[in-house]
Amino acid sequence: MPRLFTAIEVPDEIGLALAGYRGGLSGARWIDVENYHITLRFLGDIDEETAQEAAYLLGQVRRPPFEVTITGPDAFGGGRPRALVAKVSPSPAILELQAEHERLARRAGLPAESRKFAPHVTLARLRDASPRAVADYLGLRGGPPGLSFRAEQFVLYSSRDSVGGGPYVVEAAYPLR
């Protein structure tokens, strides 16, 4: 079964700048720069028919391009940090696009996503990284990086069947207009 998710791609020059966050934290497994993305809606391992339906519904989305602003590095997981991320400003445009993907996913028959949407680019997965080390890392690197770009489309990505992880393949691209 294909494992699918919708996302905003990260342009090469932004990826290059975000790559500056790599290194300096033990227990971090750094994501390859070409796999950086902003997940909008994780669809999961779904059957071909549901995937076709979701792809069709995504094609009905009519929304204008919008500005994406990276606000800075952060960690998810609190006392047990599990991911290092570059947070993305939760602008009305990205929240509305994500909410529309959520509605479409449900129309395609998928269960509701229970987690609150917090837009981000995952930079590293963390294993055995201490909260202290993560705090120190963020202390040295914190602050807004002054990075933004215009999202002109969103995409449907597939990842390795039932396993997840990159490389991610663009199965379909949907212009924002």
DSSP 157: E
Structure tokens at 162: 């039932």
Which residue intervals of the chain are DSSP H helices?
A: 12-18, 48-58, 92-107, 131-141
Least Å from the CB of residue 23 to ligand 2AM = 19
Structure tokens at 84: 């290092």
Our CB check for ligand 2AM shows the closer of 64 and 167 to be: 167
Among 122, 130, 153, 158, binds ligand 2AM (CB under 6 A): 122
101 catalytic? Reply is no
Among 2, 5, 104, 151, binds ligand 2AM (CB under 6 A): 5
Among 6, 50, 98, 159, binds ligand 2AM (CB under 6 A): 159
Query: In this structure, is the dihedral angle defined by the CA atoms of residues 93, 94, 97 and 99, taken in order, positive or negative?
Result: negative
Among 36, 42, 137, 154, binds ligand 2AM (CB under 6 A): 42
Least Å from the CB of residue 39 to ligand 2AM = 4
Least Å from the CB of residue 177 to ligand 2AM = 25
> Which of these is catalytic: 25, 98, 120, 168?
120
b/e for 118-145, b at 16 or more Cβ within 10 A?
ebbbbbbebeebeeebbeebbeeeeeeb
Our CB check for ligand 2AM shows the closer of 29 and 150 to be: 29
